[in-house]
Structure 1
Amino acid sequence: MLTFEEKLAIIESYPMLERNDVSLGRVNFKFKESVIDKENVVYHLHPNGNGYVFAELIDDDYDIDTKGMVNIRDFSEKALRKVIDQSIASLSEQEPFEETWINRDKETLLLVNDFDSWNIYAGNLLEATYATYNGAVDYLKQEGFRPSR
């Protein structure tokens, strides 16, 4: 496991991230060029080595919490750099985010990120709106849909 100082050195090597010291010795790093309302890439990096990286929009199979964060406590340098790179890329996307979801009856729904909301459309009709990608995905899965890839 990397120490706090090692993680800090890795994260500070990203010139596009802005450091923000918060309470209890924790540190956040923001990506001010984010194209969505989220700016925190690294959240509450703690002197004990615990911390989080925003991973909600990343396609990899990270174990993310309800805030869209992955815990980086046990990440290696390579894994930490990878998730930070992916996080920054996900916050830099210029193209509108859209995913098609399909059920066993071949019905499709479209998941779209519209102005920091996650909207689900059935054709031109708005089916549902969620504050997070994970919330929308949970709904789609409960309704028997899966990503169409």
Structure 2
Amino acid sequence: MLTFEQKQKIIESFPELTRKEVSLKRLNYHYEDSLYDKTIVVQHLHPNGNGYVYVEGISGYTPDERGLVNIREASESELRRTIEDAIRALSTEEQWDEEEAVEEVWVNGQGQKLTLLEEEGFFNIYHGYNLEESFGDYGEAVDYLKEERFKRSGGDLK
């Protein structure tokens, strides 16, 4: 798990975000150029490492009722990708469903690789050319991969 300082450094590497301190030593990061009323990208980053990113309406995420995903356990690449996706969603009027489909490589401790592909509204997991599992939701596919002890590789196909 990344520390508060590591997450803060990653978030602050996005020059388009503005830091604002809130209660209990938490930080919010706003995207002031948002095309929408919503400007908060990172909400309540706490010194204990907890925090949230706004991803409402973005394909590939399973947000809570507020449109947020928790970043407590996020890796550096996951955090960067989530923030990039959030900024892109707040800066465009186009629907995310028309964006590039998900293509990710996941690897376990033994070096085995699985590929997660978004195809025709489904999230399919392949071992080589063989279909391993299929899910109707990105979050379900990621949960399955994590349960099987796979981690997203830095070598995504995208």
TM-score, length basis structure 2: 0.59
Aligned to 1:84: 83
Alpha-carbon distance change, 2 to 93 in structure 1, aligned in 2, over 3 angstroms: same
Rounded to whole Å, the distance in 2 between the matches of 1:8 and 1:96 is 29
Output one character per residue of 1:33-89: Cα deviation in whole Å (capped at 9) or x when no partner: 0001110000000000000000112101x2311110000000000000000000000
When Rg is computed on C-alpha atoms for both structures, the one with the higher figure is 1
2:96 and 2:79 mapped to 1: Cα distance? Answer: 25
Residue type of the alignment partner of 1:44: H
Structure 1 counterpart SS, 2:38: coil
Structure 2 partner of 1:45: 45
Say which SS state the counterpart of residue 24 (structure 2) adopts. Answer: helix
Aligned amino acid, residue 56 of structure 1: E
Distance 1:56 1:8, change over 3 A: same
CA distance in 2, matches of 1:11, 1:42: 8
User: How far 1:97 sits from its partner (Å)?
Assistant: 8.0
Q: Which position in structure 1 is the counterpart of 2:36?
A: 36
AA aligned opposite 1:4: F
Distance of 1:96 and 1:86 partners within structure 2: 12
- Is the Cα contact below 8 Å between 2:17 and 2:32 reproduced in 1? yes
Instruction: Supply the distance in 2 between the matched residues of 1:95 and 1:35 (Cα, whole angstroms).
Output: 11
Unmatched runs of 5 consecutive residues or more in structure 1: 100-149
Structure 1's consecutive aligned runs of 4 or more residues displaced over 6 angstroms after TM superposition are 96-99
Q: CA RMSD in A?
A: 1.8
**What does the per-residue CA deviation read over 1:76-121, in whole Å, with 9 as the maximum and x for residues that have no partner?**
000000000000000001347899xxxxxxxxxxxxxxxxxxxxxx
Distance 1:12 1:19 in 2: 8
Code of the residue aligned with 1:87 in structure 2: it is A
Q: Distance in 2 between matches of 1:66 and 1:44?
A: 16
| Distance (Å, rounded) in 2 between the aligned partners of 1:93 and 1:49 | 29
Say which SS state the counterpart of residue 81 (structure 1) adopts.
Answer: helix
State the identity as a percent.
Answer: 53
Count, aligned residues: 98
